[in-house]
Structure 1
Amino acid sequence: MGRHARARKIPSMSVSKRFRTPHDSGRQVAILCKETGATLFMAELPKEADTEPPARRMGIALELALRAEADLSGADLRGVIAQDLQSFEGKLAGADFTGADLSNLECIGCDVRQTRFAGASLAKADFRGCDLRGADLTGADIRHAQFQFCNARGALFVNPLADQTYFWTTKLYDATFSGVEPGKIIFEDCNYSEPDAGED
């Protein structure tokens, strides 16, 4: 989208192909959200967002989009700063959060298949009932994070920054854990068995 693009409503379109990196201006981000129906209740970002750095403005736009249950599958959200997102239920499959700050994220029943969290901060994040199959958390900060009733089959936890990280009743078949100090991650009632044919 060009710098001088005009806002227009595009029905039934996901944000995935239209979100850009945090380097876009606050107004551009607002236009992108509005076009997808994510923030139809607002013409642009709150005025106080104007004083925020680009990565934080993108985080504000992200929060508004998530509140509106926008489909962010495949979105490029590298480096976004979006701390304390609460009670989020949404679609993030294939999104790229490389280097993002998502600390204190509360994610409930989210679709985060193949989502990239490499080098991201997920400190104190709470994933409940999420589909994390194939997600990449290489080098992510998962200290004090919790994964409950999730499906993390085939997920990558390579060289994460971990401490008091909990996995409860989570499917971990074919998940990769490496470069983790003993005792930093606690597993309770997790399933490591290969799924039956037709089972997720």
Structure 2
Amino acid sequence: MDTKMIGSKIASARKKVNISQAGLAAQVFVSPQAVGKWERGESLPDVITLNQLAKILGVDLNYFSESFSFPENSKPIEEKVALEENIPGAGQTQLLTNFSGAELAKTDFSGINAHGLIFSGSNLAGSDFTDADITGSTFKGSNAHEAVFLRANLTDCNLSATDLRGAEFSSAILINTRFYALGLAEAKFSNTKFSNVKFSKTDLRDTIFENCGFEGVDFDYSDLRGLCLDEQTFANVLFHNAALNETSFKGATLINCSFRSTFALTNKYYRAIKTIHFGGASMDKLTHASLKGLGADLTQVTLI
């Protein structure tokens, strides 16, 4: 395989869509130095990364083959056709996916049907994604303060290191969604079902959850101190290594939920479990036994 030829093609396509080496590196989770080595022909991306590059750069995967060349005056896909208006139900082809580094504050994305969008280092403050289907999209290092995701489909989306303070997620579709190291103060989730969602290293202390259902959710290393989760339903949920001091589950239903730390159970952890409020909650026998063994106050809990 001709590494210099592939490197030259990566560089050419990158320049045509006006993405810097650093910007491209951020989208495929490598260093800018790695992209530089690719373009100089000193190394090659793996097959999975090459497929990602094709999508980001708007080219067919065959573009990187030795025998492939564009017809005369041809351009990559993203330059050949302008993005049409995303009208729900219109069945148009999606051509533009990369909005990295873009200034998009208060932009209207409502009702769009566009999968795999990339927002890396973008300003989306106050933007409206109401009723949008943005399955498989990525939000990384962006400002989405007070953005609106009302009834939005966020299936398979990854949101990391992004400011989502005050964001609205009511009735959103959250399936296999990943939240990592986010700011979610005053963000609101109401009438929402979380299915196989993971919150990792996320501060949820001031997040608002109302009338939500949690199934197969993992709160890995997240901060839930003082969080109100009253009257909500939890099934097959992991609270491993989460900070739970004064968290409230009053009137909640808990089935097959685990509160154990994956590390050694310290006196500090036992003390934190004792501060959780379970008054009026209902839980299955296994969850009850697990919490009882950790010293939780279950005096007002009903077994189901």
CA shift digits 1:131-170 (9 cap, x unpaired): 1111000011111100011111111111123200110110
User: Following TM superposition, by how much is the alpha carbon of 1:186 offset from its aligned partner in structure 2, in angstroms?
Assistant: 2.2
Q: CA deviation at 1:58?
A: 9.9
Assess if the C-alpha contact under 8 Å between 2:156 and 2:175 holds in 1.
yes
| Counterpart position of 1:101 | 133
SS in 2 for 1:162: strand
Distance 1:82 1:165, change over 3 A: same
After TM superposition, the structure 1 = structure 2 runs for residues 27-176 of structure 1, keeping only pairs within 5 Å, are 46-47=80-81, 54-55=87-88, 60=95, 63=97, 66-67=99-100, 69-86=101-118, 88-176=120-208
Distance 1:135 1:158 in 2: 12
Which structure's CA Rg is the greater one?
2
Contact 2:87 2:111 in 1 (8 A): no
The 3 A distance-change label for structure 1 pair 182 and 54 is: closer
In structure 2, how many angstroms separate the alpha carbons of the residues matched to 1:106 and 1:117? Answer: 14
Q: Which has the larger share of helix? A: 2
C-alpha distance 159-60 of structure 1, shift in aligned 2 (>3 A): farther
AA of the residue aligned to 1:153: A
Of structures 1 and 2, the one with the larger relative CO (CA 8 A, separation 6+) is 1
SS in structure 1 of the partner of residue 133 of structure 2 = coil
**Matched AA of 2:190:** V
d(CA) in 2 for partners of 1:182, 1:106:
22
* Pair 107,79 (structure 1): closer, same or farther in 2 beyond 3 Å: same
Given the two structures, how large is their TM-score scaled by the length of structure 1?
Answer: 0.64
Q: Give distance in 2, aligned partners of 1:182 and 1:85.
A: 26
Point out where structure 1 has 5 or more consecutive residues left out of the alignment: 1-40, 195-200
Further displaced range: 185-194 or 92-101: 185-194
CA contact (8 A) 1:58 1:80 kept: no
| Percentage identity across paired residues of the two chains | 24
TM-align CA RMSD: 3.0
Tell me the matched-pair count.
149
Quote the offset at 1:178 in angstroms. 2.2
What is the DSSP-based 3-state SS (H/G/I as helix, E as strand, rest coil) of the residue aligned with 2:139? strand
What is the alpha-carbon distance in structure 1 between the residues aligned to residue 223 and residue 186 of structure 2?
Answer: 13
Gaps in structure 2 of 5+ consecutive residues:
1-74, 227-304
Q: Residues 115 and 60 of structure 1: is their aligned pair in 2 closer, same or farther, counting only changes over 3 Å?
A: farther
